Structure formats: C-alpha cells, structure tokens
Structure 1
Amino acid sequence: MIPSVDVTPNQNGLPGIAAIEKIVGALLTFGLIAAVAGIAISAIAWAIGSHSSNPHIAGRGKTGVLVSAGAAMLIGAANTLVTFFSAAGSAVQ
C-alpha cells in the first residue's frame, strides 16, 4: 500500500515570500515593458520592409508583432493561468 501524501502550498513556510512576490511583480512589469518595446520595434521593421519592398523584413516585423502581443497576453494572464492549473491539479485524485 502506498502512503498518501498531503502537501499544500502555504504563505508561512519560508521567510522572504513577500520579497519574492515583489520581485516577481517587478519581472512581470519588466516583461510587459519589453513586450511594448518589441511591438514598437517590430511594427517599425514591418513598415520599413513594406515600404522598401522587402518581404523578408516585413515578414519578420509581422512575426515580431505577433510574438510580442502573445508574450504580453501570457504575462498578463500569468496569475490566472497558474491559479487555473493549480486548481485543476488539486482536483486530480
């Protein structure tokens, strides 16, 4: 017979949890700023590629815009995604 394991996350297990939460929040902010910069730079590359009849540069700009927008979406939804999958994992028996 396999013994059951019942370990749950807690807020009091380690010192410094509040500091780590602040650091992660700062990383989320940095990621969103980088996504905005990525969209701006990629849109400029897209425009330059389109106006100079360079489909390679225009395509790379389009890809950059989509990747940066996707990154911003994932960063913005990070808390919700982790909460959802944590709840889904807790429901598994």
Structure 2
Amino acid sequence: MDRKILPPQHQVFINFRGDELRKNFISHLVEALQRNEINVFTDKKEQKGENISNLFKRIEESKIAVAVFSKRYTESKWCLDELVKMKECADLGNLKMTY
C-alpha cells in the first residue's frame, strides 16, 4: 500500500489530561487523524516532570491545537501552561485552536 510521506512537522497538537483519555478518546482521535494523513503530536513520549519547553516548541510548530477538557484537566499545571502557550500562538495568528 502506497502511503504519502507526511511532512516532518506536527500539524495538530493535542492537549489533554489523564490516561483515561489517552487510552480511549485520544487514541481514537489520533488514529483517525493519522488515517487521514495528518501528523499529530501528543506528549506520549515526554517524561513527566521534564522541561516543558519541548512541548512549547511542538505547539509553535503545529498548525492546529486541540484542547480536550476533562474533570481533572485544571489539576495539571502542564496542561494549563500548554493552554496559555496555545492561546498566545493563536493570538499571533500562528495557530488555530479548538476546544
């Protein structure tokens, strides 16, 4: 099966909190986007407690950011910091955001 080579940058950054979302809704969302040849970035490979600057860089490289809110979303400083960065990039016209 011939597959198009996707551009190296992440086109969609997904911001969410919790394994319950990661293993259900988010995994289905990522699968659907990738099936349609859309690059996706989630923090799957990021170490908890590591420097968040790598995630900020991924947000800046993205064309679209999706924030998936859940009950415990606001308990995560990382999620809130990412959301602020997403809003800053959107305000500059560099990113489209969906909630």
TM-score range, shorter chain: under 0.3
Return the structure number with greater relative CO, CA threshold 8 A, min gap 6: 2
Q: What TM-score comes out, normalization by structure 1 length?
A: 0.24
Higher strand share: 2
Higher helix share: 1
The structure having more radius of gyration, on CA atoms, is 1
